[in-house]
Chains A and B, each alone.
Chain A
Amino acid sequence: MTNTEQYKVRKEPYYQPQGNEVWLYEAAYAARLPVMVKGPTGCGKSRFVEHMAWKLNKPLITVACNEDMTASDLVGRYLLDAQGTRWLDGPLTTAARIGAICYLDEIVEARQDTTVVIHPLTDHRRTLPLDKKGELIEAHPDFQLVISYNPGYQSLLKELKQSTKQRFTAFDFDYPEAGVEAEILSKETGMDQAISAKLVKIGAAARNLKGHGLEEGISTRLLVYAATLIRGGVPARDACRMALVRPITDDADIRETLDHAIDAVFA
Chain B
Amino acid sequence: MAIPAELQIYWALLDCRFPRVKPVFADCLSYALATLSKEGVAAYIESARFLGKMGRGAEPILIFLEEWPAVAKTLGESTLPAVMDLVHSMGKSPNGRAITPFLQWLPAISRKLTSSEQLSDFLAITLDLMERTTGSIHGIHQTFPSPGLPDFFKQAPALLGQLSLKGLKNWVDYGVRYYHDHPDRQVDFFRLQSADSQAVLQRERNGTLLVNNERKLDMYLRGLWQDEDRLIPYSGAFDELRQPIPYYDKLGIRLPDVYSDAHGITGIDRYRAALAHIAAHRRWTTAIFADNLSPFQRMATEFLEDSRVEYLAMREYPGLRRIFMALHPIPAEDACDPELESGVRHRLTMLSRAVLDQKHPYHNPHVVEFAERFHTLMRESNMSTPEMADLAVSFVAKTRRQSDQLAKTHFKDTVVDYRDDNRQIWKFIEQGDEENAFEEQRKTKPTEELSSLPPRHYHEWDYHTHGYRPDWVSVHEALHPVGNAADIDRLLAKHAALAKRLKKMLDLLKPQDKVRIRFQEEGSELDLDIALRSLIDYKSGATPDPRINMSHRTDGRNIAVMILLDLSESLNEKAAGCDQTVLELSQEAVSLLAWAIEKLGDPFAIAGFHSNTRHDVRFLHIKGYSEHWGDEVKARLAAMEASFSTRMGAAMRHAAHYLEKQQADKKLMLILTDGEPADIDSKDGRLLIEDAHQAVKELDQQGIYCYCINLDPGADEYVADIFGKQYSIIDRIESLPEKLPQLFISLTK
- Interface on A for B, CB 8 Å cutoff? 68, 70-73, 77-78, 80, 84-85, 201, 205-206, 208-209, 212-213, 253-254, 256-258, 260-261, 263-267
Question: B516-550: which have CB < 8 Å to A?
Answer: 524-526, 531, 534-535, 544, 548
CB distance from A97 to the nearest CB of B (A): 22
**A80-B548, A253-B216, A256-B216 known; A208-B535 Cβ under 8 A:** no
- Docked Cα-Cα span, A80 to B533, in Å, equals 12
Q: Are B318 and A264 in contact (CB under 8 A)?
A: yes
Q: Which residues of B contact A212 (CB under 8 A)?
A: 218-219, 222
CB distance from A111 to the nearest CB of B (A): 9
List 11 other contacts, CB 8 Å, given A208-B224, A264-B317: A77-B525, A80-B548, A212-B219, A254-B219, A256-B216, A260-B272, A264-B224, A264-B318, A265-B317, A267-B319, A267-B321
Question: B210-241: which have CB < 8 Å to A?
Answer: 215-216, 218-220, 222-224, 226
Count contacts between A and B, CB distance < 8 Å.
Answer: 72
Q: Are A209 and B531 in contact (CB under 8 A)?
A: no
Interface string of B261-282 (1 = CB under 8 A from A): 0000000110010000000000
- Docked Cα-Cα span, A213 to B226, in Å, equals 16
**A73-B524, A264-B317, A264-B318 known; A80-B531 Cβ under 8 A:** yes
- Docked Cα-Cα span, A52 to B544, in Å, equals 47
CB distance from A224 to the nearest CB of B (A): 21
- Docked Cα-Cα span, A73 to B272, in Å, equals 53
Q: Are B535 and A265 in contact (CB under 8 A)?
A: no
Instruction: With CB as the reference atom, state the residue of chain A lying closest to B317.
Output: A264
Which listed residue (A77, A209, A258, A267) contacts B320, Cβ 8 A?
Answer: A267
Q: Are A261 and B534 in contact (CB under 8 A)?
A: no
Q: Which residues of A contact B268 (CB under 8 A)?
A: 256
Q: Which residues of A contact B224 (CB under 8 A)?
A: 205, 208, 257, 260-261, 264
**A72-B524, A205-B224, A208-B226 known; A257-B320 Cβ under 8 A:** no
Interface string of B332-374 (1 = CB under 8 A from A): 0000000000000000000000000000000000000000000
Count residues of chain B with CB under 8 A from any CB of chain A: 28
Q: Which residues of A contact B216 (CB under 8 A)?
A: 253, 256-257
- Docked Cα-Cα span, A68 to B220, in Å, equals 40
Q: Are A267 and B317 in contact (CB under 8 A)?
A: yes
Interface string of B292-324 (1 = CB under 8 A from A): 000000000000000000000000111111100
- Docked Cα-Cα span, A205 to B551, in Å, equals 45
- Docked Cα-Cα span, A68 to B522, in Å, equals 11
CB distance from B195 to the nearest CB of A (A): 28
CB distance from B317 to the nearest CB of A (A): 4
Instruction: With CB as the reference atom, state the residue of chain A lying closest to B323.
Output: A264
Query: Which of A80, A209, A212, A261 neighbours the largest number of chain B CB atoms within 10 Å of its CB?
Result: A80
Instruction: With CB as the reference atom, state the residue of chain A lying closest to B548.
Output: A80
Q: Which residues of B contact A71 (CB under 8 A)?
A: 524
Instruction: With CB as the reference atom, state the residue of chain B lying closest to A71.
Output: B524
Q: Which residues of B contact A265 (CB under 8 A)?
A: 317-319
Instruction: With CB as the reference atom, state the residue of chain A lying closest to B226.
Output: A208
Q: Are B321 and A205 in contact (CB under 8 A)?
A: no
- Docked Cα-Cα span, A263 to B321, in Å, equals 11
8 contacts between A and B (CB under 8 A): A77-B526, A80-B535, A85-B526, A209-B223, A261-B224, A264-B317, A264-B318, A264-B319
CB distance from A47 to the nearest CB of B (A): 27
CB distance from A102 to the nearest CB of B (A): 20
**A72-B525, A73-B524, A264-B320 known; A206-B535 Cβ under 8 A:** no
Q: Which residues of B contact A267 (CB under 8 A)?
A: 317-322
Q: Are A206 and B223 in contact (CB under 8 A)?
A: yes
Instruction: With CB as the reference atom, state the residue of chain A lying closest to B222.
Output: A208
Q: Which residues of B contact A263 (CB under 8 A)?
A: 319
Q: Which residues of B contact A261 (CB under 8 A)?
A: 223-224, 317
- Docked Cα-Cα span, A134 to B382, in Å, equals 73
Q: Are A209 and B222 in contact (CB under 8 A)?
A: yes
Instruction: With CB as the reference atom, state the residue of chain A lying closest to B269.
Output: A260
Which listed residue (A78, A85, A257) contacts B219, Cβ 8 A?
Answer: A257
- Docked Cα-Cα span, A208 to B224, in Å, equals 8
**A208-B226, A209-B222 known; A70-B524 Cβ under 8 A:** yes
Q: Which residues of B contact A209 (CB under 8 A)?
A: 219, 222-223
Interface string of B454-491 (1 = CB under 8 A from A): 00000000000000000000000000000000000000
- Docked Cα-Cα span, A132 to B216, in Å, equals 57
- Docked Cα-Cα span, A1 to B216, in Å, equals 60
- Docked Cα-Cα span, A196 to B525, in Å, equals 50
- Decide if the interface of chain A is mainly helix, strand, loop or mixed: helix
Q: Are A258 and B223 in contact (CB under 8 A)?
A: yes
- Docked Cα-Cα span, A265 to B321, in Å, equals 11
Query: Which of B223, B272, B534 neighbours the largest number of chain A CB atoms within 10 Å of its CB?
Result: B223
- Docked Cα-Cα span, A253 to B220, in Å, equals 10
Instruction: With CB as the reference atom, state the residue of chain A lying closest to B320.
Output: A264
Q: Which residues of A contact B223 (CB under 8 A)?
A: 205-206, 208-209, 257-258, 261
Question: B170-229: which have CB < 8 Å to A?
Answer: 215-216, 218-220, 222-224, 226
- Docked Cα-Cα span, A254 to B220, in Å, equals 9
CB distance from A60 to the nearest CB of B (A): 26
- Docked Cα-Cα span, A239 to B505, in Å, equals 58
Q: Are A260 and B220 in contact (CB under 8 A)?
A: yes
Q: Are B219 and A84 in contact (CB under 8 A)?
A: no
- Docked Cα-Cα span, A254 to B533, in Å, equals 58
Instruction: With CB as the reference atom, state the residue of chain A lying closest to B526.
Output: A78
Q: Are B319 and A257 in contact (CB under 8 A)?
A: no
CB distance from B537 to the nearest CB of A (A): 11
Instruction: With CB as the reference atom, state the residue of chain A lying closest to B216.
Output: A253
Q: Which residues of A contact B318 (CB under 8 A)?
A: 264-267
- Docked Cα-Cα span, A70 to B551, in Å, equals 9
Instruction: With CB as the reference atom, state the residue of chain B lying closest to A70.
Output: B524
Instruction: With CB as the reference atom, state the residue of chain B lying closest to A254.
Output: B219
CB distance from B546 to the nearest CB of A (A): 8
Instruction: With CB as the reference atom, state the residue of chain A lying closest to B522.
Output: A68
Q: Are B215 and A253 in contact (CB under 8 A)?
A: yes
Instruction: With CB as the reference atom, state the residue of chain B lying closest to A256.
Output: B216
CB distance from A135 to the nearest CB of B (A): 17
CB distance from A257 to the nearest CB of B (A): 4
Q: Which residues of B contact A258 (CB under 8 A)?
A: 223
Instruction: With CB as the reference atom, state the residue of chain A lying closest to B523.
Output: A70
CB distance from A80 to the nearest CB of B (A): 7
- Docked Cα-Cα span, A80 to B524, in Å, equals 14
Q: Which residues of B contact A256 (CB under 8 A)?
A: 216, 268
Q: Which 3 A-B pairs have the closest CB atoms?
A: A264-B319, A267-B319, A267-B318
CB distance from A189 to the nearest CB of B (A): 22
Q: Which residues of B contact A77 (CB under 8 A)?
A: 525-526
Instruction: With CB as the reference atom, state the residue of chain A lying closest to B220.
Output: A257
Q: Which residues of B contact A205 (CB under 8 A)?
A: 223-224
Q: Which residues of A contact B534 (CB under 8 A)?
A: 80
Q: Which residues of A contact B525 (CB under 8 A)?
A: 70, 72, 77
Q: Which residues of A contact B316 (CB under 8 A)?
A: 201
Q: Are B219 and A213 in contact (CB under 8 A)?
A: yes
- Docked Cα-Cα span, A267 to B224, in Å, equals 15
- Docked Cα-Cα span, A213 to B223, in Å, equals 12
Instruction: With CB as the reference atom, state the residue of chain A lying closest to B223.
Output: A205
Question: B689-748: which have CB < 8 Å to A?
Answer: none
Query: Which of B317, B525, B544 neighbours the largest number of chain A CB atoms within 10 Å of its CB?
Result: B317
- Docked Cα-Cα span, A253 to B320, in Å, equals 19
Q: Which residues of B contact A206 (CB under 8 A)?
A: 223
- Docked Cα-Cα span, A198 to B649, in Å, equals 50
Interface string of B70-98 (1 = CB under 8 A from A): 00000000000000000000000000000
CB distance from A147 to the nearest CB of B (A): 21
Interface string of B147-189 (1 = CB under 8 A from A): 0000000000000000000000000000000000000000000
Instruction: With CB as the reference atom, state the residue of chain B lying closest to A252.
Output: B216
CB distance from B208 to the nearest CB of A (A): 12
Q: Which residues of B contact A72 (CB under 8 A)?
A: 524-525
Instruction: With CB as the reference atom, state the residue of chain B lying closest to A263.
Output: B319
Q: Are A253 and B531 in contact (CB under 8 A)?
A: no
CB distance from A245 to the nearest CB of B (A): 12
